[in-house]
Chains A and B, each alone.
Chain A
Amino acid sequence: MDSKTHTLHLLHRMIGKDKDFRPGQWEAIEAVAIRKQRALVVQRTGWGKSLVYFLATKLLREQGAGPTILISPLLSLMRNQIETAEKIGIRALTINSANRDQWDAVEESLASDACDLMLISPERLNNRYFLEGVLPQISGRIGLFVVDEAHCISDWGHDFRPDYRRIVRIIQMLPRGVPVLGTTATANDRVIADVQAQMGTELTVLRGPLVRDSLRLQNLRLPKQSERLAWLARNLPKFKGSGIVYCLTVADTERVAGWLKMKGLSAEAYHAGDDETIDRAELERAFLNNEIKVLVATVALGMGFDKPDIDFVIHFQRPGSAVAYYQQVGRAGRAVDRSYGILLCGAEDDDIQNYFIESAFPNIDVFRGILRALEGREAMSIYEILAEVNTSLSMAMKALGLLEVDGAVGRTYSGRTLYFRTPNRWNPDRERIDRVIGLRKLELVQMQTYVDYSGCLMQFLLKALDDPNPVPCGRCANCQGKGFSTSVPPELVIEAENYLKSAQIFIRSYRQWPSSLFPAQKRTIPVELRNAPGRSLCYYGDAGWGEWVRSGKYVDGQFRAELVDASVRLIEAVWQPDPWPAWVCAIPSKRHPVLVPRLASSIAQKLGLPFIPALRRVRDADEQKLMQNSAMQSRNVMNTLAVDGPIPDGPVLLVDDIVDSGWTLTVAGYLLRQNGSGIVYPFALAQATGRKS
């Protein structure tokens, strides 16, 4: 039996007797598994790229090769993909930071040659455990490299992942005979040419058509969020099946999901935020089984998520590029006759996208500051670096990531991760940064054009992606001359406006001290010393206010007047604490001595209340965000705060800039109440998100 027939038999076992190769599938398998060469597969999602690498892996394993390494930004393979692979005896495993408890088992499988394919993130290629703990389990024998989302290899690709530069360098150092398979759903001519130049010219490129035959596209302009919420509430019930509503920010997913739930729809928010509140795997499962009608998601629901019967993909806000939009909307209608891709375009979209573009790269001073700090030392932890470089944790991590890929900074582990300066020279790659930013801006313009385009919408997207044969689809709202209406009942809009006003971010009030803190003492915080539930104005790092909080704290050294006004509006019009506070107090800091007191006194002035600085730092605490657990967080504050002078006995508004764990406010409130204050209402400009337990 020749290889192709043999492989076809394997395919039958995976997906059914009546199936055949799709055009390009066998050619890709042959290139990597028989000829041991390099191939790039550019095919729309759902085409069967995973079949290609599973079958190639099977053939290579039959020849005695080592396991396949699948490099992907995905956290894990979809359960149904793993099951399909198992039908031909391919065992696929994952190593990532979230499944540490399974590493031993994975190592064992590798050592006994029971793992055929391992999924890792690009970052892991440079990880010591991977090099010293994982690769030796297979005696270093890697049978095949699969590079998922291969468009990231090119700077011209629509998402910029610096770690892919590392992949390119590895590919360029590979001895001959080690096959490489790149896969992507979306790459235009320029990206393909660039990937080809970097992966080697002997690359076999297999490119298929992108058009989706069932998808009906439509664009609707609805500037106000309340209008779009009302539109969703009115129109979502019309869809029989389930679908996705994409938002640009985490806060928007929560808001939209909350609204839809309120309107009686089965909806859940899905994002890459707090692991404690979001069980992504469970949400994916429930959505796959149509137990949830609407998943309100950020791009965190992305690559690799494959649900064949999605009826609609609606964008609450406009994505940043035609490619990103095509990829997201393309999740709809893979196995249904009729599906809808509707783009709602709002007034805030440009601001959010511009913010994304501007914050994509850390400021040059951050890079230089980090290198200067590292130059004098052997190695430093991230927290030692932050003590010397004035930037946020996330920006510092972003900068370190880029410096690492540039070879200017290395990473080692000694009880904790340490960074060190390498002897390699470093110059800021202005050209690359400008190129990426310039490209993002062009993509944004293209999307702005798309929204108001009067011709065939699918054709527009296909042209933007250099599809070889972009013809009018005959199905989109423009081709058909009909579609959903933008009109919504005014009373529904008013209801949505009220909802938005009342959608508040709560600061939780702790009832117990952490268990390890006071073993002798009672853990319960007495009711009369607990804080009342508090409020935050926004989520830290979210576009808009969230970004102003960041720049106010770490760049400008003061908060904008707009933040004060918004806070006062929230407190007076929405929150309306009862009984009304009689005075205002601030959380003091030695690190930023005037920042929060100035904010608190501005708020106090606008509320017509006295500002009394009743709390004092006896010594500076480490920043709360650096504390890894509740015990450290509360202990960190407990010994550093003290109460000064007489305390008014009325209710108090206790102001901080960013609330992280909430322990600072809990301890401060406890101290104020112990010293005679009335009810304590905590208030913070921003709530930190994304914290891991």
Chain B
Amino acid sequence: MIISADSQAILLLCSHVGLPSPSEHSPLSLREWNVLARKLQSASLRPGDLLNFKTAELTELLAASDGESERIMFLLQRGGSLAIELERLESIGISVTTRAEPDYPARYRDRLKESAPVILFYSGEKALLGQPGIAVVGSRHLDEAGKDCAQFVGNACGMSGLVLYSGGAKGVDSLSMTAALDARGTAVGILADSLERAIRNPESRAAISRGDLCLATPYSPSAPFTVGTAMARNKLIYTLADFAIVVASDAGKGGTWAGATEALKAKWIPVFALDHAKMPQGNGLLIEKGAARFPHPFPERPLRLKAWLEEHSATDQASPLQPRLF
């Protein structure tokens, strides 16, 4: 892996590599990074240029306070630890990209703008991130209709060359992902917890080796699962896909609900909710909030899935564009 100076600087400033917890200086939050990135941009600098500065130069160029410059300089001194950690990750099959890289997923940039994750760790075929595809979301606990639907969508994606996007968790995620891969298709999982552990699963590992699967996460690859990270991760599933199907959601609570209502509000992509007689209460409420109905069983041939979703999508997608930020 050859890593650009821009990405080195971003990783030093925004990741926890080599830092104790708690640390004298914490890494920059997304918001803090955006502020710094704007300053760099207006000074016609790139993130990698930070590696050449002394504290005083930094203070002057960025009109930063002494405290801010000191924090940045402190964080930038971890180059040795960063290299050691990146080498370790690469040797177990994990790579990294940042918002400063030209091949960072364009859909994140376009749809999430400044809230796009600055750093993305991944294992597998990165080109899959943002290829045409369908996101399947839902809770871990599913009824029969939900299971059928998850497998149907996975299978249909596999057969029609669409990427199956999910959260790579148990339940609906793994059912649909396995169905897609079994149909000789491709899948992407955006994880909320340990990427390092996920790629040790023999099936996932084999699919990654074949180039059929990419698992990615904005969190540290060894991070344990926390509810907060799962919530924040939801929009990263929606924003890579062309359509999302909510298989099962609780009403007014839980990660699925939070992610679906956020997606409905942001209008990144058309959101469907599985519609059947015994559907969970949350599905009905999502439909009330504007989600399109996804019938169970699906009335047409599997290969017609994408066309059907297009025909049944509302057309008021938001697509404002604004300048890019690293």
- Interface pair A139/B93, CB less than 8 Å apart: no
A421 part of interface (Cβ distance < 8 Å): yes
Neighbouring A residues of B63 by C-beta, 8 Å: none
A438 part of interface (Cβ distance < 8 Å): no
Neighbouring B residues of A404 by C-beta, 8 Å: 91
- Interface pair A170/B84, CB less than 8 Å apart: yes
A135-B92 Cα distance, complex, nearest whole Å: 20
Neighbouring B residues of A412 by C-beta, 8 Å: 196, 200
Say yes or no: A423-B91 contact (C-beta < 8 A), given A131-B85, A175-B8. no
Those of A422-439 within 8 Å (CB) of chain B: 422-425
- Encoded as 1 (CB less than 8 Å from any B CB) or 0, chain A from 62 to 87 comes to 00011001000000000000000000
Q: Which of A65, A136, A140, A412 has the most CB of B within 10 A?
A: A140
- Encoded as 1 (CB less than 8 Å from any A CB) or 0, chain B from 1 to 15 comes to 111010011001000
B136 part of interface (Cβ distance < 8 Å): no
Neighbouring B residues of A423 by C-beta, 8 Å: 93, 123-124, 199, 205, 208-209
Those of A271-325 within 8 Å (CB) of chain B: none
Q: How many Å from the CB of B209 to the closest CB on chain A? A: 5
- Interface pair A175/B82, CB less than 8 Å apart: yes
Neighbouring B residues of A405 by C-beta, 8 Å: 91
B18 part of interface (Cβ distance < 8 Å): yes
Say yes or no: A136-B200 contact (C-beta < 8 A), given A175-B8, A421-B205. no
Neighbouring B residues of A135 by C-beta, 8 Å: 18, 81, 84
A141-B18 Cα distance, complex, nearest whole Å: 8
- Interface pair B3/A378, CB less than 8 Å apart: no
Interface majority SS (helix, strand, loop, mixed), chain B: helix
* Nearest-CB residue, chain B, relative to A66: B77
Q: Which of A137, A139, A145 has the most CB of B within 10 A?
A: A139
B90 part of interface (Cβ distance < 8 Å): yes
Q: Which of B25, B83, B84, B87 has the most CB of A within 10 A?
A: B84
A268-B202 Cα distance, complex, nearest whole Å: 52
A170-B23 Cα distance, complex, nearest whole Å: 24
Neighbouring B residues of A379 by C-beta, 8 Å: 200
Partner of A170, one of B21, B25, B52, B83: B83
Partner of A136, one of B18, B87, B93, B205: B18
B271 part of interface (Cβ distance < 8 Å): no
Neighbouring B residues of A125 by C-beta, 8 Å: 84, 87-88
Say yes or no: A175-B51 contact (C-beta < 8 A), given A139-B24, A170-B87, A422-B199. yes
Q: How many Å from the CB of A292 to the closest CB on chain B? A: 40
B78 part of interface (Cβ distance < 8 Å): yes
Those of A133-150 within 8 Å (CB) of chain B: 135-137, 139-142, 145
Neighbouring B residues of A174 by C-beta, 8 Å: 79-80, 83
- Interface pair A136/B19, CB less than 8 Å apart: yes
Neighbouring B residues of A172 by C-beta, 8 Å: 2
A412-B92 Cα distance, complex, nearest whole Å: 11
- Interface pair A139/B18, CB less than 8 Å apart: yes
A378-B21 Cα distance, complex, nearest whole Å: 30
- Encoded as 1 (CB less than 8 Å from any A CB) or 0, chain B from 30 to 45 comes to 0000000000000000
A145-B200 Cα distance, complex, nearest whole Å: 32
- Encoded as 1 (CB less than 8 Å from any A CB) or 0, chain B from 57 to 83 comes to 000000000000000001011111111
A206-B124 Cα distance, complex, nearest whole Å: 43
A173-B20 Cα distance, complex, nearest whole Å: 22
Say yes or no: A173-B18 contact (C-beta < 8 A), given A142-B81, A424-B93. no
Neighbouring A residues of B84 by C-beta, 8 Å: 125, 131, 135, 170
B17 part of interface (Cβ distance < 8 Å): yes
- Interface pair B19/A126, CB less than 8 Å apart: no
A681 part of interface (Cβ distance < 8 Å): no
B264 part of interface (Cβ distance < 8 Å): no
* Nearest-CB residue, chain B, relative to A127: B88
- Interface pair B93/A177, CB less than 8 Å apart: no
- Interface pair A173/B81, CB less than 8 Å apart: no
Neighbouring A residues of B21 by C-beta, 8 Å: 136
A468-B196 Cα distance, complex, nearest whole Å: 50
B201 part of interface (Cβ distance < 8 Å): yes
Q: Which of B18, B25, B124, B209 has the most CB of A within 10 A?
A: B18
B86 part of interface (Cβ distance < 8 Å): yes
- Encoded as 1 (CB less than 8 Å from any B CB) or 0, chain A from 170 to 194 comes to 1111111110000000000000000
Partner of B202, one of A69, A166, A170, A375: A375
Neighbouring A residues of B25 by C-beta, 8 Å: 139
A375-B210 Cα distance, complex, nearest whole Å: 14
A588-B185 Cα distance, complex, nearest whole Å: 53
A377 part of interface (Cβ distance < 8 Å): yes
Neighbouring A residues of B82 by C-beta, 8 Å: 140, 173, 175
Neighbouring B residues of A178 by C-beta, 8 Å: 79-80, 83
- Interface pair A140/B17, CB less than 8 Å apart: yes
- Interface pair A425/B18, CB less than 8 Å apart: no
Say yes or no: A173-B209 contact (C-beta < 8 A), given A410-B91, A423-B199. no
A169-B2 Cα distance, complex, nearest whole Å: 9
Q: Which of A178, A404, A412 has the most CB of B within 10 A?
A: A178
- Interface pair B86/A173, CB less than 8 Å apart: yes
Neighbouring A residues of B88 by C-beta, 8 Å: 125-126, 131
Neighbouring A residues of B78 by C-beta, 8 Å: 139-142
- Interface pair A171/B83, CB less than 8 Å apart: yes
- Interface pair A378/B200, CB less than 8 Å apart: yes
- Interface pair B1/A173, CB less than 8 Å apart: yes
- Interface pair A173/B202, CB less than 8 Å apart: no
Say yes or no: A140-B91 contact (C-beta < 8 A), given A174-B79, A175-B8, A422-B199. no
A407 part of interface (Cβ distance < 8 Å): yes
A376 part of interface (Cβ distance < 8 Å): yes
Neighbouring B residues of A175 by C-beta, 8 Å: 5, 8-9, 12, 51, 76, 79, 82-83
- Interface pair B93/A65, CB less than 8 Å apart: no
Neighbouring B residues of A425 by C-beta, 8 Å: 209
- Encoded as 1 (CB less than 8 Å from any A CB) or 0, chain B from 196 to 224 comes to 10011110011011000000000000000
Those of B84-122 within 8 Å (CB) of chain A: 84-88, 90-93
- Interface pair A177/B79, CB less than 8 Å apart: yes
Neighbouring A residues of B52 by C-beta, 8 Å: 176-177
* Nearest-CB residue, chain A, relative to B207: A423
A407-B199 Cα distance, complex, nearest whole Å: 14
Q: Which of A178, A378, A422 has the most CB of B within 10 A?
A: A422
- Interface pair A145/B80, CB less than 8 Å apart: yes
* Nearest-CB residue, chain B, relative to A137: B20
Partner of B74, one of A69, A139, A176: A139
- Interface pair A422/B79, CB less than 8 Å apart: no
Q: How many Å from the CB of B127 to the closest CB on chain A? A: 15
Neighbouring A residues of B91 by C-beta, 8 Å: 126, 166, 169, 404-405, 407, 410, 422, 424
- Encoded as 1 (CB less than 8 Å from any B CB) or 0, chain A from 152 to 173 comes to 0000000000000010011111
* Nearest-CB residue, chain B, relative to A411: B92
A139-B70 Cα distance, complex, nearest whole Å: 14
A379-B199 Cα distance, complex, nearest whole Å: 11
Q: How many Å from the CB of A488 to the closest CB on chain B? A: 54
Neighbouring A residues of B87 by C-beta, 8 Å: 125-126, 166, 169-170, 173
30 contacts between A and B (CB under 8 A): A66-B80, A126-B88, A135-B81, A139-B24, A140-B80, A141-B80, A142-B78, A142-B81, A145-B80, A169-B87, A169-B90, A170-B84, A171-B83, A173-B8, A174-B80, A175-B9, A176-B52, A177-B51, A177-B79, A178-B79, A376-B202, A407-B93, A410-B91, A422-B199, A423-B93, A423-B209, A424-B91, A424-B92, A424-B93, A424-B209
B: residues with CB less than 8 A from A are: 1-3, 5, 8-9, 12, 17-21, 23-25, 51-52, 74, 76-88, 90-93, 123-124, 196, 199-202, 205-206, 208-209
Excluding A125-B87, A404-B91, A407-B91, 19 further A-B contacts by CB distance (< 8 Å) are: A69-B80, A135-B18, A136-B18, A139-B18, A139-B23, A139-B24, A139-B25, A141-B18, A142-B79, A166-B87, A171-B83, A177-B52, A407-B93, A412-B196, A421-B205, A422-B93, A423-B123, A423-B199, A423-B209
Minimum-distance CB pairs A-B, first 8:
A140-B18, A142-B80, A140-B81, A140-B78, A136-B20, A423-B208, A410-B92, A175-B79
